[in-house]
Amino acid sequence: MSLSLPLRQQAFEGDLVYNFFDNLLPDSKNIRARIQKRFQVLSSQPFDLLAAIGADCVGAIQLCQDGILPSINETRAKPLSTEAIAKLLKGYATIPLGMAEEFDDFRISIAGAQEKTALLWHEGKWCYPIAATPTSHIFKLPIGFISNNNFDLSDSCENEWLCLQIAKDLVYPTANAQIQYFDDIKVLVVERF
């Protein structure tokens, strides 16, 4: 699963395992608290949170409940309108990672401090993936103004896009990304790799 957890017979335990799974979650304590509240998780411990939302994690890791095996032969998804995506993005303060209640089996975990969600590009449309169908793209919102540092990162989408283009021009492997608008909401859409 990781260079820090190479394949071996002996089980891993302790801080190495805790930190690996902790790093699959968003960094923000506020986002974690919203996840805990949204899914009525008893604690904010990584394993408890991931038991609720770990169906689509970084590195193609899927944490599923005992006895439930995801089908890799079936893509299940619900198409979304531009308006529905805009509503989802506007609701980030109350809907952690875009996991709206009307899509109860949409469970993702994306690390980092920035507000974001992930969706599936399927048959020419943006969709909510259903059950164990993975997402294909991460939608990153602008970071905005950081008041405690008096620092404006409202152009974080453009900045990240430009850095990716420079890296690509220097022949570094990069994710495909583009800036998109859903109504008046700007996001950096990054293809997962």
Cβ neighbours of 89 (radius 10 Å)? 21
Yes or no: say if 132 and 64 are a contact pair by the CB < 8 Å rule: yes
pLDDT in tens, 55-76: 888 887 888 777 777 777 888 8
Q: Identify whether 162 is part of a domain.
A: yes
Cα atoms found within 13 Å of the Cα of residue 101, Cβ hemisphere only: 6
Residues of the domain holding 104? 16-63+75-191
Query: 143 with 153: CB under 8 angstroms?
Result: yes
Assigned domain for 2 exists: no
pTM summary value:
0.79
Number of separate domains in the chain = 1
pLDDT below 50 — which residues of the chain? none
Decide if 186 is inside a domain: yes
- Each residue of 140-150: pLDDT tens digit? 999 888 888 88
- C-alpha–C-alpha distance, residues 156 and 187, integer Å: 10
Query: In this structure, what token pair is assigned to residue 25?
Result: 């979650």
- Considering the domain boundaries, does residue 139 fall inside one? yes
Residue at 182 is within a domain: yes
Tell me if residue 186 falls in helix, strand or coil. Answer: strand
